[in-house]
């Protein structure tokens, strides 16, 4: 037991890791509960239509694309730890205001603030990690935070079952207030971040000519765009797959929960150990390439499940989710390392802002792409979606190989 306890404490030896992990766990407990209740709260309690909810989420995601850039830019100019603290506080206050909205316009404004501030905070957090660590430690830290995030969201989602069972407006609003309070509480540990996470004074006072702009870095922009495109996998798991199971297969509806639980458990168990295998640019490229092949297998399994009986369909969906989950783990770790290692260290915030923008764009267009392919055209649509993943992964591999070949003569 002492040996196990030592191994569990080892990843948290660095004070920056402890602070970020604590803040992440507290925050995601609230976020897990809030995300579970969001759509039902908007429709059942506030009285919005499904179309209005979809429009709100789309516009809010679009706002997040711009604020990702803003958060990264500001983290190069201001104190990153104070900026992150302020953004998390703003997010908590915005979440709190959800309990008092009663109209479409009010919900739209609040959603834009919540999503915009969260996107800026994500970019700032990435800049903090980029400055606080080097090499493998960066990806390991991201993997650790991803694991903590999954744990927090899982527990928060389970807690959301209480207001769902009660079903009253008061129960929903109480849950939202508690979720907002958790977000506000998660800002307090951030005050303990050390000064080393801030940009150096020379960088903070320099103009844009003080370092290479990410928009003048073709390789980095290509990696950002391709990683964002591959990020459609998250929309596939969260939106597309549940709708596919319910409307296009004979599998029981309960399988939606089963496969998502499988995904969560595997990510929690394997994200950290597999992330350690992407500690170089070359290994990161290979990891993304393997993820592309796995997503091809996942899409074939998902698409075939719509052509079989309930038992076979259930088995194919589970197999597809296993492929999908390993693809998610490998592609995330590979993309994180490439996002850090290919960036100009003198412009960490700006580069991480651009990289975060790529994933924000994937979140924005992901549901539309999944709907226009797999959900609209069945097996043929799944094959188109598979081709998208293969092309995105192949593009990342090509960029990485070019970068590695160019580095050999220089070395």
What's the pLDDT tens digit per position in 76-106?
888 998 999 999 999 999 999 999 999 999 9
Token pair for 222? 């290509």
CATH H superfamily, domain 1-206:
MFS general substrate transporter like domains (1.20.1250.20)
Q: What mean pLDDT do residues 59-64 have? A: 90
How far is C-alpha 98 from the chain's CA centre?
22
Q: How far apart are the first and last CA of the chain?
A: 46
Look at residues 182, 234, 177 and name the one whose alpha carbon lies nearest to residue 26: 182
Q: What is the pLDDT of residue 200?
A: 63
Residue-range domain boundaries for the chain: 1-206, 210-411
Q: What mean pLDDT do residues 23-30 have? A: 92
Question: Is 210-411 CATH 1.20.1250.20?
Answer: yes
Token pair for 349? 């915030």
Check: CB of residue 390 under 8 Å from CB of residue 383.
no
Is 203's pLDDT higher than 80? Answer: no
Is 3's pLDDT higher than 90? Answer: no
Helix (H, G, I), strand (E, B) or coil at 242: helix
Q: Which residues are within 8 A (CB) of 29 and not within 5 positions of it... i.e. 6 or more apart?
A: 152, 155, 156, 159, 182
Cα gap 350→205, rounded to integer Å: 14
Check: CB of residue 250 under 8 Å from CB of residue 318.
no
Token pair for 267? 């990510």
Dihedral sign, Cα of residue 126, residue 127, residue 131, residue 135: positive
Look at residues 373, 391, 389 and name the one whose alpha carbon lies nearest to residue 381: 373
What's the pLDDT tens digit per position in 114-161?
999 999 999 999 999 989 888 788 888 888 999 999 899 888 888 888
Residue 206: C-alpha distances to residues 34, 48, 69, 213, 220 (Å): 40, 47, 18, 13, 22
Cα gap 210→206, rounded to integer Å: 5
Q: CATH topology of 1-206 equal to that of 210-411?
A: yes
Is 204's pLDDT higher than 70? Answer: no
Cα gap 281→401, rounded to integer Å: 9
Check: CB of residue 106 under 8 Å from CB of residue 375.
no
What's the pLDDT tens digit per position in 249-287?
999 888 887 888 888 889 999 998 998 888 889 999 999
Q: What mean pLDDT do residues 226-235 have? A: 94
Provide the whole-model pTM.
0.84
Sort residue 47 into left (φ over 0), alpha (ψ -120 to 50) or beta: left
Is 385's pLDDT higher than 90? Answer: yes
Confidence band of 212 (pLDDT split at 50, 70, 90): confident
């Amino acid at each position: 037991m002492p040996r196990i306890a030592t191994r569990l404490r080892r990843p948290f030896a660095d004070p920056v890791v402890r602070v970020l992990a604590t803040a992440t766990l507290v925050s995601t407990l609230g976020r897990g509960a809030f995300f579970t209740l969001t759509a039902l709260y908007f429709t059942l309690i506030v009285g919005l239509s499904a179309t209005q909810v979809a429009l709100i989420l789309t516009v809010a995601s679009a706002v997040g694309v711009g604020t990702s850039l803003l958060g990264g830019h500001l983290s190069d100019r201001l104190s990153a730890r104070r900026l992150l603290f302020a953004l998390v506080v703003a997010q908590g206050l915005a979440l709190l205001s959800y309990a008092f909205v009663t109209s479409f316009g009010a919900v739209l404004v609040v959603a834009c603030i919540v999503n915009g501030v969260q996107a800026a905070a994500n970019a700032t957090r990435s800049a903090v990690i980029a400055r606080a660590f080097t090499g493998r430690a960066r990806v390991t830290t991201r993997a650790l935070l991803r694991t903590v995030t999954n744990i927090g969201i899982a527990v928060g989602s389970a807690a959301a079952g209480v207001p769902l069972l009660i079903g009253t407006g008061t129960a929903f609003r109480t849950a939202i207030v508690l979720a907002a309070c958790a977000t506000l509480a998660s800002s307090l540990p951030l005050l303990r971040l050390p000064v080393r996470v801030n940009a150096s004074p020379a960088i903070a006072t320099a103009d844009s000519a003080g370092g290479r702009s990410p928009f003048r870095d073709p390789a980095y922009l290509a990696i950002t765009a391709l990683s964002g495109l591959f990020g459609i996998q998250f929309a596939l798991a969260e939106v597309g797959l549940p709708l596919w199971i319910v409307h296009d297969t004979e599998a029981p509806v309960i399988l939606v929960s089963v496969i998502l639980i499988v995904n969560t458990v595997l990510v929690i168990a394997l994200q950290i150990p597999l992330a350690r295998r992407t500690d170089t640019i070359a290994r990161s490229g290979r990891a993304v390439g393997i993820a592309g092949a796995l997503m091809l297998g996942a899409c074939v399994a998902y698409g075939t499940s719509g052509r079989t009986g309930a038992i076979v369909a259930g088995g194919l969906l589970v197999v597809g989710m296993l492929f999908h989950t390993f693809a998610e783990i490998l592609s995330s770790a590979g993309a994180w390392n490439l996002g850090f290692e290919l960036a100009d260290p003198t412009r960490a915030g700006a580069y991480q802002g651009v990289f975060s923008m790529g994933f924000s764009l994937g979140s924005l267009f992901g549901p539309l792409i999944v709907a226009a392919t797999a959900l609209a055209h069945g097996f043929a649509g799944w094959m188109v979606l598979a081709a998208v993943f293969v092309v995105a992964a192949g593009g990342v591999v090509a960029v990485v190989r070019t970068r590695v070949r160019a580095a050999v003569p220089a070395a």
